[in-house]
Protein backbone atom coordinates (compact mmCIF):
# COMPACT_ATOMS: atom_id res chain seq x y z
CA UNK A 1 0.00 0.00 0.00
CA UNK A 2 1.36 3.44 -0.88
CA UNK A 3 2.01 6.02 1.79
CA UNK A 4 -0.31 8.99 1.51
CA UNK A 5 -0.27 10.72 4.87
CA UNK A 6 2.35 12.91 6.49
CA UNK A 7 2.33 14.04 10.10
CA UNK A 8 4.08 17.25 11.14
CA UNK A 9 4.36 17.71 14.90
CA UNK A 10 4.30 21.48 15.43
CA UNK A 11 3.02 22.06 18.93
CA UNK A 12 6.32 22.80 20.69
CA UNK A 13 6.98 26.14 22.38
CA UNK A 14 10.15 26.94 20.47
CA UNK A 15 11.92 28.06 23.63
CA UNK A 16 15.31 27.89 21.93
CA UNK A 17 14.28 30.84 19.76
CA UNK A 18 12.81 33.13 22.37
CA UNK A 19 12.07 36.00 22.20
CA UNK A 20 11.45 35.58 18.42
CA UNK A 21 8.94 32.81 19.13
CA UNK A 22 6.96 34.55 21.85
CA UNK A 23 4.13 35.49 19.49
CA UNK A 24 5.18 33.65 16.32
CA UNK A 25 5.31 29.88 16.00
CA UNK A 26 8.83 28.56 15.57
CA UNK A 27 7.61 26.75 12.46
CA UNK A 28 6.93 30.14 10.84
CA UNK A 29 10.47 31.51 11.20
CA UNK A 30 11.74 32.17 7.69
CA UNK A 31 14.60 30.40 5.99
CA UNK A 32 15.40 32.84 3.19
CA UNK A 33 11.77 33.58 2.26
CA UNK A 34 9.79 30.53 3.30
CA UNK A 35 8.72 29.47 6.78
CA UNK A 36 10.54 26.45 8.18
CA UNK A 37 7.54 24.16 8.03
CA UNK A 38 7.04 24.82 4.32
CA UNK A 39 10.31 23.05 3.54
CA UNK A 40 9.06 19.86 5.17
CA UNK A 41 5.65 20.17 3.49
CA UNK A 42 7.34 20.66 0.11
CA UNK A 43 9.51 17.60 0.73
CA UNK A 44 6.37 15.61 1.55
CA UNK A 45 4.68 16.80 -1.63
CA UNK A 46 7.76 16.03 -3.72
CA UNK A 47 7.77 12.54 -2.20
CA UNK A 48 4.22 11.94 -3.43
CA UNK A 49 2.35 12.41 -0.13
CA UNK A 50 -1.09 13.94 -0.43
CA UNK A 51 -2.50 14.40 3.04
CA UNK A 52 -0.71 16.66 5.48
CA UNK A 53 -1.68 16.34 9.14
CA UNK A 54 -0.27 19.13 11.26
CA UNK A 55 -0.28 18.70 15.03
CA UNK A 56 -0.58 22.21 16.43
CA UNK A 57 -1.25 23.81 19.78
CA UNK A 58 -2.01 27.13 21.37
CA UNK A 59 -0.75 30.15 19.38
CA UNK A 60 -0.15 28.24 16.15
CA UNK A 61 -2.94 29.59 13.95
CA UNK A 62 -0.41 31.33 11.67
CA UNK A 63 0.48 27.86 10.35
CA UNK A 64 -3.12 27.21 9.31
CA UNK A 65 -3.37 30.63 7.68
CA UNK A 66 -0.15 30.03 5.82
CA UNK A 67 -1.40 26.87 4.12
CA UNK A 68 -4.84 28.33 3.46
CA UNK A 69 -5.83 30.20 0.30
CA UNK A 70 -5.40 33.91 0.76
CA UNK A 71 -8.11 35.20 -1.56
CA UNK A 72 -7.42 38.92 -1.07
CA UNK A 73 -3.67 38.51 -1.50
CA UNK A 74 -4.14 36.47 -4.65
CA UNK A 75 -6.46 39.11 -6.18
CA UNK A 76 -3.95 41.83 -5.30
CA UNK A 77 -1.04 39.96 -6.89
CA UNK A 78 -3.13 39.26 -9.99
CA UNK A 79 -4.08 42.94 -10.33
CA UNK A 80 -0.47 43.97 -10.00
CA UNK A 81 0.68 41.42 -12.56
CA UNK A 82 2.95 39.64 -10.09
CA UNK A 83 2.40 36.27 -11.71
CA UNK A 84 5.56 34.54 -10.46
CA UNK A 85 4.74 35.39 -6.83
CA UNK A 86 1.10 34.46 -7.38
CA UNK A 87 2.12 31.05 -8.70
CA UNK A 88 4.36 30.49 -5.71
CA UNK A 89 1.63 31.48 -3.24
CA UNK A 90 -0.90 29.22 -4.96
CA UNK A 91 1.50 26.30 -4.99
CA UNK A 92 1.87 26.33 -1.20
CA UNK A 93 -1.68 25.21 -0.63
CA UNK A 94 -2.39 23.52 -3.96
CA UNK A 95 -2.71 19.82 -4.79
CA UNK A 96 -2.61 18.51 -1.24
CA UNK A 97 -5.03 18.42 1.64
CA UNK A 98 -4.32 19.78 5.12
CA UNK A 99 -5.84 18.62 8.38
CA UNK A 100 -5.07 20.03 11.82
CA UNK A 101 -5.31 18.46 15.21
CA UNK A 102 -4.30 20.00 18.50
CA UNK A 103 -2.00 18.61 21.12
CA UNK A 104 -3.49 20.03 24.26
CA UNK A 105 -0.57 19.29 26.55
CA UNK A 106 3.16 19.37 25.84
CA UNK A 107 3.67 15.67 26.54
CA UNK A 108 6.29 15.04 23.89
CA UNK A 109 6.83 13.84 20.33
CA UNK A 110 5.40 10.38 20.98
CA UNK A 111 2.24 11.91 22.41
CA UNK A 112 1.93 14.25 19.38
CA UNK A 113 2.01 11.19 17.08
CA UNK A 114 -0.43 9.25 19.26
CA UNK A 115 -3.18 11.85 18.87
CA UNK A 116 -3.21 11.40 15.08
CA UNK A 117 -4.42 7.82 15.46
CA UNK A 118 -8.00 8.46 14.37
CA UNK A 119 -6.79 10.39 11.30
CA UNK A 120 -4.39 7.71 10.13
CA UNK A 121 -6.44 4.48 10.25
CA UNK A 122 -4.62 1.29 9.53
CA UNK A 123 -1.89 2.38 7.18
CA UNK A 124 1.80 3.25 7.25
CA UNK A 125 2.45 6.99 7.35
CA UNK A 126 5.30 9.49 7.27
CA UNK A 127 6.47 11.82 10.02
CA UNK A 128 8.44 15.01 9.43
CA UNK A 129 10.14 16.99 12.18
CA UNK A 130 10.25 20.44 10.63
CA UNK A 131 13.42 21.47 12.51
CA UNK A 132 15.38 19.08 10.34
CA UNK A 133 15.84 20.66 6.95
CA UNK A 134 17.20 18.20 4.41
CA UNK A 135 18.60 19.50 1.19
CA UNK A 136 18.82 16.53 -1.17
CA UNK A 137 18.73 15.76 -4.90
CA UNK A 138 16.10 13.09 -4.28
CA UNK A 139 13.84 14.18 -1.39
CA UNK A 140 14.89 12.31 1.75
CA UNK A 141 11.37 10.97 2.34
CA UNK A 142 11.20 9.69 -1.24
CA UNK A 143 14.42 7.76 -0.60
CA UNK A 144 12.86 6.30 2.55
CA UNK A 145 9.66 5.32 0.76
CA UNK A 146 11.88 3.26 -1.56
CA UNK A 147 13.25 1.39 1.48
CA UNK A 148 9.76 0.93 2.94
CA UNK A 149 8.53 -0.57 -0.36
CA UNK A 150 11.26 -3.16 -0.14
CA UNK A 151 11.06 -4.09 3.55
CA UNK A 152 7.43 -3.13 4.39
CA UNK A 153 8.44 -2.02 7.89
CA UNK A 154 8.87 1.22 9.78
CA UNK A 155 11.90 3.10 8.44
CA UNK A 156 13.93 5.66 10.40
CA UNK A 157 16.16 8.26 8.79
CA UNK A 158 19.65 8.13 10.25
CA UNK A 159 22.84 10.05 9.82
CA UNK A 160 26.32 9.55 11.23
CA UNK A 161 27.22 12.05 13.92
CA UNK A 162 30.23 12.60 16.16
CA UNK A 163 29.86 10.34 19.17
CA UNK A 164 30.19 13.40 21.40
CA UNK A 165 26.95 14.74 19.86
CA UNK A 166 25.01 11.47 20.20
CA UNK A 167 23.37 12.66 23.43
CA UNK A 168 21.29 15.08 21.31
CA UNK A 169 19.59 12.32 19.34
CA UNK A 170 17.83 9.04 19.34
CA UNK A 171 20.61 6.56 18.48
CA UNK A 172 20.24 3.14 16.91
CA UNK A 173 22.23 -0.03 17.07
CA UNK A 174 21.93 -1.63 13.66
CA UNK A 175 23.09 -4.44 11.46
CA UNK A 176 23.83 -3.35 7.91
CA UNK A 177 21.85 -5.35 5.36
CA UNK A 178 22.38 -3.29 2.19
CA UNK A 179 24.18 -0.05 1.30
CA UNK A 180 22.83 2.55 3.73
CA UNK A 181 20.19 0.16 5.11
CA UNK A 182 20.32 -1.21 8.66
CA UNK A 183 18.10 -3.62 10.53
CA UNK A 184 17.54 -1.96 13.88
CA UNK A 185 18.60 -4.10 16.83
CA UNK A 186 18.12 -1.52 19.54
CA UNK A 187 17.55 2.17 19.99
CA UNK A 188 17.93 4.66 22.79
CA UNK A 189 16.76 8.24 23.20
CA UNK A 190 19.51 10.78 23.89
CA UNK A 191 22.04 8.45 25.56
CA UNK A 192 24.00 10.29 28.24
CA UNK A 193 27.01 8.07 27.66
CA UNK A 194 28.13 5.05 25.62
CA UNK A 195 25.85 5.51 22.59
CA UNK A 196 25.30 2.15 20.84
CA UNK A 197 26.68 3.62 17.57
CA UNK A 198 27.14 6.92 15.76
CA UNK A 199 23.92 6.47 13.76
CA UNK A 200 21.57 9.20 14.95
CA UNK A 201 17.88 9.39 14.15
CA UNK A 202 17.02 12.44 12.06
CA UNK A 203 13.48 13.86 11.88
CA UNK A 204 12.02 11.67 9.15
CA UNK A 205 10.17 8.47 9.94
CA UNK A 206 7.91 6.03 8.17
CA UNK A 207 5.81 4.32 10.81
CA UNK A 208 3.56 1.31 10.60
CA UNK A 209 0.20 1.58 12.42
CA UNK A 210 1.58 -0.75 15.09
CA UNK A 211 3.25 2.34 16.55
CA UNK A 212 -0.07 3.45 18.05
CA UNK A 213 -0.40 0.43 20.35
CA UNK A 214 3.29 0.80 21.22
CA UNK A 215 2.72 4.46 22.09
CA UNK A 216 -0.13 3.49 24.39
CA UNK A 217 2.29 1.28 26.29
CA UNK A 218 5.02 3.94 26.42
CA UNK A 219 5.63 5.54 29.79
CA UNK A 220 7.19 9.01 30.14
CA UNK A 221 10.90 8.92 29.37
CA UNK A 222 13.57 11.62 28.87
CA UNK A 223 12.34 14.99 30.11
CA UNK A 224 9.19 13.34 31.47
CA UNK A 225 7.82 13.18 27.90
CA UNK A 226 6.38 10.33 25.86
CA UNK A 227 9.29 9.66 23.52
CA UNK A 228 8.80 8.25 20.03
CA UNK A 229 12.14 6.44 20.35
CA UNK A 230 10.87 4.57 23.42
CA UNK A 231 7.70 3.56 21.55
CA UNK A 232 9.84 2.31 18.65
CA UNK A 233 11.78 0.16 21.11
CA UNK A 234 8.48 -1.41 22.19
CA UNK A 235 7.44 -1.85 18.54
CA UNK A 236 10.72 -3.66 17.92
CA UNK A 237 9.50 -6.47 20.22
CA UNK A 238 6.88 -7.43 17.63
CA UNK A 239 8.00 -5.95 14.29
CA UNK A 240 11.23 -5.42 12.37
CA UNK A 241 12.35 -1.82 11.97
CA UNK A 242 14.89 -0.58 9.43
CA UNK A 243 17.00 2.54 9.39
CA UNK A 244 18.23 4.31 6.31
CA UNK A 245 21.24 6.56 5.95
CA UNK A 246 19.73 9.04 3.48
CA UNK A 247 21.72 11.07 0.98
CA UNK A 248 21.57 14.81 1.48
CA UNK A 249 22.66 17.68 3.69
CA UNK A 250 20.75 18.10 6.91
CA UNK A 251 20.52 21.27 8.98
CA UNK A 252 19.19 21.40 12.51
CA UNK A 253 17.19 24.58 12.11
CA UNK A 254 15.81 24.14 15.63
CA UNK A 255 19.18 25.27 16.91
CA UNK A 256 20.41 28.85 16.47
CA UNK A 257 23.67 27.93 14.78
CA UNK A 258 22.00 25.30 12.58
CA UNK A 259 19.32 27.82 11.64
CA UNK A 260 21.95 30.34 10.56
CA UNK A 261 23.85 27.69 8.60
CA UNK A 262 20.66 26.67 6.81
CA UNK A 263 19.85 30.29 5.96
CA UNK A 264 23.29 30.97 4.53
CA UNK A 265 23.59 27.79 2.50
CA UNK A 266 20.03 27.91 1.16
CA UNK A 267 20.49 31.59 0.24
CA UNK A 268 23.68 30.73 -1.63
CA UNK A 269 21.67 28.27 -3.71
CA UNK A 270 19.23 30.92 -4.87
CA UNK A 271 20.20 32.19 -8.32
CA UNK A 272 18.73 35.64 -7.60
CA UNK A 273 20.76 36.07 -4.37
CA UNK A 274 23.88 34.02 -4.89
CA UNK A 275 26.30 36.47 -6.54
CA UNK A 276 25.55 39.49 -4.34
CA UNK A 277 25.38 37.46 -1.15
CA UNK A 278 28.69 35.78 -1.90
CA UNK A 279 30.25 39.20 -2.49
CA UNK A 280 28.89 40.36 0.85
CA UNK A 281 30.27 37.33 2.71
CA UNK A 282 33.67 37.99 1.11
CA UNK A 283 33.51 41.60 2.30
CA UNK A 284 32.94 40.27 5.80
CA UNK A 285 36.20 38.40 5.39
CA UNK A 286 34.95 34.88 4.52
- Smallest distance, Å, CB 58 to ligand G1P? 19
The CA distance from 161 to 219, in Å, is 28
Q: Residue 201 or 266: which CB sits closer to ligand G1P?
A: 201
Which one of 37, 53, 77, 109 is in contact with ligand G1P (CB under 6 A)? 109
* Cα→Cα distances 127→26, 41, 174, Å: 18, 11, 21
Q: At what angle do helices 256-268 and 271-283 cross, to 10 degrees?
A: 120
The CA distance from 281 to 286, in Å, is 6
Q: What is the dihedral of CA 213, 214, 219, 220, to 10 degrees?
A: -110
The CA distance from 179 to 198, in Å, is 16
**Which residue's C-beta sits nearest to ligand G1P?**
170
Which region, judged by CB under 6 A, interacts with ligand G1P, from 22-30, 223-231, 256-264, 278-286? 223-231
- Tell whether residue 157 is a contact of ligand G1P (CB under 6 A): no
- The angle subtended at Cα 47 by Cα 28 and Cα 101, nearest 5°, is 45
For the purposes of burial, counting CB atoms within 10 Å of the CB of 20, is it exposed (0-12), middle (13-18) or buried (19 or more)? middle
- Tell whether residue 200 is a contact of ligand G1P (CB under 6 A): yes
Residue pair 199/243 in contact by the 8 Å Cβ criterion? yes
- Tell whether residue 201 is a contact of ligand G1P (CB under 6 A): yes
Which region, judged by CB under 6 A, interacts with ligand G1P, from 63-71, 95-103, 201-209, 212-220? 201-209
- Smallest distance, Å, CB 90 to ligand G1P? 31
Residue pair 94/210 in contact by the 8 Å Cβ criterion? no
> Which alpha helices (H) appear in the chain, and where do they start and end?
36-46, 61-66, 71-79, 83-93, 109-114, 117-120, 140-151, 210-216, 228-235, 256-268, 271-283
Which one of 170, 195, 210, 221 is in contact with ligand G1P (CB under 6 A)? 170
Q: Considering Cα of 158, then 159, then 165, then 168, what sign does the dihedral take?
A: negative
Which region, judged by CB under 6 A, interacts with ligand G1P, from 14-22, 25-33, 61-69, 227-235? 227-235
- Smallest distance, Å, CB 131 to ligand G1P? 6
- Tell whether residue 158 is a contact of ligand G1P (CB under 6 A): no
Q: Residue 92 or 130: which CB sits closer to ligand G1P?
A: 130
- Smallest distance, Å, CB 9 to ligand G1P? 8
Q: Residue 77 or 156: which CB sits closer to ligand G1P?
A: 156
- Smallest distance, Å, CB 201 to ligand G1P? 4
- Tell whether residue 225 is a contact of ligand G1P (CB under 6 A): no
- Which spans of this chain sit near ligand G1P (rule: CB under 6 A)? 109, 129, 132, 169-170, 189, 200-203, 227-229
Amino acid sequence: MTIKKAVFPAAGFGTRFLPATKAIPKEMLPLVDKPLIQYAVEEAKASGLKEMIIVTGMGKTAIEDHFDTSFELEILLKERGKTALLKEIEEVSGLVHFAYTRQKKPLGLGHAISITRNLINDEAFAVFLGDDIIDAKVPAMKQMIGVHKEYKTSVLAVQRVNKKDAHLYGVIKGEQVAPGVFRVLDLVEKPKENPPSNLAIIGRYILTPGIFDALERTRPGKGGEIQLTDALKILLETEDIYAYEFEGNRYDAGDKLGFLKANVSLALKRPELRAEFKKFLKQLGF
